[in-house]
């Protein structure tokens, strides 16, 4: 009985190590990952071009301070496009800032802030379709202006970078929020 359990245990351990090795290889790979697909298999596109992340997603507890989205460098007046096909569920002011929200397949919602809307609630949009322009003052403080892109599934905040087309990694200084 011990001899038959030993090979099974070794096989399980070897399988775990192979999977872990693949994960480490994928993380350290110099090639960017293939484009990510959103719900329904549609490829998501960057909402501003060229894409440059100035602040990443900071997963935190439900009521803790954090950064529930990503900031993408863009100049005021820059066009902002929908990351994927969907329906505009909101285009208006939230806490004094212009916001656009698009509902996508699979219960996902993308949010764009601050964006002066070219769309209205109830309007269907295609991935890559302009939803507005980056408003001033922009979301980021200081010399860099940016778009804040958020992603939610129900009440949960997700990292939108996982759904967007792959790009070169961006290194941020240590200790930066």
Of 50, 49, 51, 42, the C-alpha closest to 163 is 42
How much is the pTM?
Answer: 0.68
Report whether 121 contacts 75 (CB < 8 A).
Answer: no
The stretch 50-79 carries a mean pLDDT of: 77
pLDDT tens for residues 85-115?
A: 999 999 999 989 999 999 999 999 999 999 9
Of 38, 17, 1, the C-alpha closest to 162 is 38
The stretch 30-40 carries a mean pLDDT of: 39
Higher pLDDT, 59 or 70: 70
pLDDT at 165: 56
Please say whether the structural domain 39-162 has been given the CATH code 2.70.70.10. yes
Q: How many CB atoms lie within 10 A of CB 162?
A: 12
The stretch 131-136 carries a mean pLDDT of: 94
State whether residue 87 is helix, strand or coil.
strand
Structure tokens at 125: 């949009």
């Amino acid at each position: 009985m011990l001899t038959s359990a030993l090979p099974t245990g070794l096989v399980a351990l070897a399988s775990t190590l192979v999977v872990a090795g693949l994960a480490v290889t994928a993380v350290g790979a110099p090639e960017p990952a293939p484009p990510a697909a959103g719900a329904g298999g549609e490829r998501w596109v960057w909402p501003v071009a060229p894409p440059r992340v100035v602040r990443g997603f900071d997963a935190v507890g439900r009521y803790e301070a954090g950064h529930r989205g990503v900031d993408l460098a863009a100049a005021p007046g820059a066009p902002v496009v929908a990351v994927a096909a969907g329906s505009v569920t909101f285009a208006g002011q939230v806490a004094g800032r212009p916001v656009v929200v698009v509902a996508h397949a699979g219960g996902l919602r993308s949010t764009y802030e601050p964006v002066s809307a070219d769309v209205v609630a109830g309007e269907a949009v295609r991935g890559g379709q302009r939803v507005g322009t980056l408003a001033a003052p922009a979301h980021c403080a200081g010399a860099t202006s940016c778009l804040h892109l958020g992603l939610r599934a129900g009440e949960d905040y997700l990292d939108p970078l996982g759904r967007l087309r792959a790009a070169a990694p961006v290194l941020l200084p240590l200790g930066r929020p």
